[in-house]
């Protein structure tokens, strides 16, 4: 990890120049972009274009898992879905490594605006493109990617959290009890139904818009799981307004692909799994200096009281069953 933390602009520029080959070179302008998980840089090239260099955090994804992501992105690009695929490198591949063994890829820099809330037209555009993403996702396997199941996604997250010792001791039993009950109820719900390549982290921060047309970014958390995961991540609320938004998105989705509406019952279980996985992610990264600065309350009693209360509320919602749609 020391090489990952000590990536300097000079090292980045030399590495990218070698990967690009003799036809294209960087100018020396290197801007570090915000990213907690990977090291990401905006680099200017001599032809005035820009590339984004992503250096993957060691030991998170295997080479094969990253290539599964790249294949999905190129499949989407071939199907004319607006997703940002990695660029070919000098050896024809899309994934290379530094002398220190850090895997990296280059992506074209794209522009657009981020939205806090989507208009009806934008929801319809996103719905149609999600249908196309899932159709492409169903066309091939991703054997090395994480599966969105209790066994692969939920249970390891809870185990690593308990083992970390970072849950406040006064709340650990209560937190684990709520999480265990959620996993027990959720496990059979995720055993049946469709599981395919999905974005996995399709929140509004990973969408850019040009007029009303979306561009899908950052497939770093690509999963194999149910399509409803991408749907609820776009429309995250549970009130009547959110249900109306989700219905508009799904109506557009269903003009291009069938959607199993029974899978809407998975929204609250999937929301709980994400909460559990997110806290586990912070705990696993807390030795990285940026994480205590970004999440200073993580080790506090207040943080874990809020998380425990939220999980207990989720458990109540899951046990009560889905609301009428």
Q: Which residues have a catalytic role annotated?
A: 201, 218
Can you spell out the DSSP letters for 82-114? Answer: -B-PPPP-TTS-S-EE-TT--EEEEEE----B-
CA distance 29 to 44: 6
Residue with tokens 């799981």: 225
> Do the beta carbons of residue 199 and residue 206 sit within 8 Å?
yes
Q: Specify the long-range contacts of residues 187-193, CB closer than 8 Å, at least 24 apart.
A: 187/149, 187/150, 187/151, 187/154, 189/265, 189/266, 189/269, 190/148, 190/149, 190/150, 190/225, 190/226, 190/266, 190/269, 191/149, 193/226, 193/260, 193/262, 193/263, 193/266
Which backbone phi and psi does 27 adopt, to 5 degrees?
-90, -15
CA–CA separation, 209 and 178 (whole Å)? 39
Residue 320 vs residues 77, 120, 269, 313, 323: alpha-carbon distances, Å: 41, 30, 12, 11, 9
Residue 312 tokens read as 């207990």
Query: Reduced to 3 states, what is the DSSP secondary structure of residue 130?
Result: helix
What 3-state class would DSSP assign to 121?
helix
Report helix, strand or coil for 170: coil
């Amino acid at each position: 990890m020391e090489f990952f933390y000590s990536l300097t602009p000079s090292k980045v520029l030399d590495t990218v120049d070698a990967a690009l080959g003799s036809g294209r070179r960087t100018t020396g302008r290197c801007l570090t972009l915000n990213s907690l998980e990977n090291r990401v840089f905006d680099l200017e090239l001599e032809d005035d274009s820009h590339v984004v260099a992503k250096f993957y955090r060691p030991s998170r994804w295997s080479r094969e898992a990253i290539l599964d992501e790249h294949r999905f992105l190129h499949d989407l690009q071939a199907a004319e879905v607006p997703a940002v695929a990695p660029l070919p490198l000098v050896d024809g591949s899309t994934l290379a490594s530094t002398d220190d063994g850090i895997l990296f890829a280059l992506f074209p820099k794209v522009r657009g605006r981020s939205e806090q809330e989507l208009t009806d037209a934008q929801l319809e555009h996103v719905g149609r493109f999600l249908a196309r993403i899932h159709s492409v996702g169903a066309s091939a396997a991703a054997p090395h990617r994480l599966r969105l199941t209790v066994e692969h996604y939920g249970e390891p997250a809870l185990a690593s959290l308990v083992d970390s010792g970072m849950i406040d001791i006064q709340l650990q039993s209560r937190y684990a009890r709520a999480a265990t009950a959620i996993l027990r109820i959720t496990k059979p719900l995720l055993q049946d139904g469709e599981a395919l390549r999905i974005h996995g982290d399709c929140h509004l921060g990973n969408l850019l818009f040009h007029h009303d047309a979306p561009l899908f970014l950052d497939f770093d958390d690509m999963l194999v799981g149910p399509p409803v995961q991408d749907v609820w991540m776009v429309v995250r609320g549970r009130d009547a307004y959110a249900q109306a938004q989700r219905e508009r998105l799904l109506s557009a989705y269903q003009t291009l692909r069938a959607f199993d509406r029974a899978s809407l019952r998975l929204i609250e279980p999937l929301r709980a799994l994400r909460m559990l996985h997110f806290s586990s992610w912070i705990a696993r990264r807390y030795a990285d200096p940026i994480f205590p600065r970004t999440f200073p309350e993580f080790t506090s009693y207040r943080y874990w009281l809020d998380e425990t209360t939220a999980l207990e509320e989720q458990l109540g919602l899951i046990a009560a069953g889905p609301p009428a749609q």
